[in-house]
Amino acid sequence: MKFGGTSVADALCIRQVVDILEQHYKNGDKLAVVVSAQRGVTDQLIEITGKLPTAKDDSIIVPLIQALGKRHMTALEGAAPDYVAEAGAVIEERLICLQNILFAVYNLRELTPRSKDYIISFGERLLAPVISAALHQRGIPSTVLDGCEAGILTTPRHGESTALFESDERIKKRVGPLLEKEIPVIMGFMGCSASGTVTTLGRSGSDYSASILGAGIDADEIWIWTDVDGIMTCDPRVINDARVMGSLSYSEVMELSYFGAKVMHPRSIEPAMRKNILVRVKNTFNPSHQGTVIVRNGQRDNRVVKALTYIDKVAAININGAQMIGRPGVAKAIFTILAEHEVNVMMISQGSSEANISLIVDEEHLNIAVQALSNLVKQGVVREVTHNHNVCAVAVVGAGMAGAPGTGGRIFTALGKNCVNVMMISQGSSEANISFVVNQKDGARAVRVLHDEFRLSEESDE
Q: Which residues bind ligand ASP (CB under 6 A)?
A: 4-5, 36-37, 42, 123, 188-189, 203-206
Of residues 253 and 438, the one with the C-beta less far from Mg ion: 253
Q: Of 206 and 349, which CB lies nearer to Mg ion in the complex structure?
A: 206
Give the residue with the Cβ less far from ligand ASP, 4 or 321: 4
**How near is the Cβ of 40 to ligand ASP at its closest, in Å?**
8
For residues 185 and 334, which CB has a smaller minimum distance to ligand ASP in the complex? 185
Beta pairing partners, 428: none
How near is the Cβ of 458 to Mg ion at its closest, in Å?
31
**Alpha-carbon gap, residue 164 to 153, rounded angstroms:** 6
Min dist CB 285 to ligand ASP, Å, is 17
Nearest Cα neighbor of 461 from 300, 295, 244, 304 is: 300
Helix 61-79 / helix 11-26 crossing angle, nearest 10 deg: 40
Largest Cα separation within the chain, whole Å, is: 75
The reply on whether position 6 binds Mg ion by CB under 5 A is: no
User: What is the spatial distance between Cα 133 and Cα 147, in angstroms, rounded to a whole number?
Assistant: 18
Which H or E run includes 387?
Answer: strand 384-397
Complex with ligand ASP: residue 42 or 161, whichever CB lies closer: 42
Q: How far is the CB of 262 from ligand ASP (least distance, A)?
A: 11
Nearest to 353 by CA among 314, 312, 324: 324
Coil vs helix vs strand at 457: coil
The answer to whether 204 contacts Mg ion (rule: CB under 5 A) is: yes
Give Cα separations from 309 to 18, 218, 270, 421 (angstroms): 33, 32, 20, 18
- Among Mg ion, ligand ASP, none, partner that 123 touches (CB below 5 to 8 angstroms by kind): ligand ASP
Between CA 265 and CA 14 the distance in angstroms is 22
Measured CA to CA in angstroms, residue 108 lies from 52, 54, 104 at distances of 10, 10, 6
Hey, CA dihedral for 394, 399, 400, 405, is it positive or negative? Answer: positive
Shortest spacing between CB 36 and ligand ASP, in angstroms: 3
Q: Which is nearer to ligand ASP, 37 or 61 (by Cβ)?
A: 37
Nearer to ligand ASP, 190 or 393 (CB): 190
Q: Which does 266 bind (CB under 5 to 8 A by kind): ligand ASP, Mg ion, none?
A: none
Site string for Mg ion, 18-57 (x = CB under 5 A): ------------------x---------------------
Provide the minimum distance between the beta carbon of 245 and ligand ASP in the complex, in angstroms, as a whole number.
22
Nearer to Mg ion, 7 or 16 (CB): 7
CB of 34 to ligand ASP, least distance (A): 9
Q: From the CA atom positions of the chain, what is the Rg in Å?
A: 24
The one of Mg ion, ligand ASP, none whose footprint includes residue 188, by CB under 5 to 8 A per kind, is ligand ASP
- Residue 205 contact partner, candidates Mg ion, ligand ASP, none, CB within 5 to 8 A by sort of partner: ligand ASP
Please spell the DSSP secondary structure of 275-317, one letter per residue: TT-EEEEEETTSTTS--EEEESS--S---S--EEEEEEEEEEE
Q: Which listed range, 3-11, 21-29, 83-91, 399-407, lies at the site for Mg ion (CB under 5 A)?
A: 3-11
The secondary structure of 344-358 as a DSSP string is PEEEEEE-TT-SEEE
Residue 260 touches which of Mg ion, ligand ASP, none (CB < 5 to 8 A by kind)? none
Q: Cβ 265 to ligand ASP, closest distance in Å?
A: 7
- Is residue 127 within 8 Å of residue 72, measured between CB atoms? yes
- CA 158, chain centre distance (Å): 16
Name which of 205 and 230 has its Cβ closer to ligand ASP. 205
- The minimum distance between CB 204 and Mg ion, in angstroms, equals 5
CB count in 10 Å sphere of residue 227: 15
Task: Name the minimum Å distance from CB 387 to ligand ASP.
Answer: 30
Backbone phi, then psi, for 86, in 5-degree steps?
Answer: -65, -55
CA–CA dist 366, 369 (Å, integer): 5
Pick one of ligand ASP, Mg ion, none as the site partner of residue 298 (Cβ within 5 to 8 A by kind).
none
State which of residues 1, 5, 91, 125 lies at the interface with Mg ion (CB under 5 A): 5
d(CA 67, CA 59): 14
Q: Which is nearer to ligand ASP, 184 or 188 (CB)?
A: 188
Residue 1's identity, in one-letter code, is: M
**42 binding partner (options Mg ion, ligand ASP, none; Cβ < 5 to 8 Å by kind):** ligand ASP
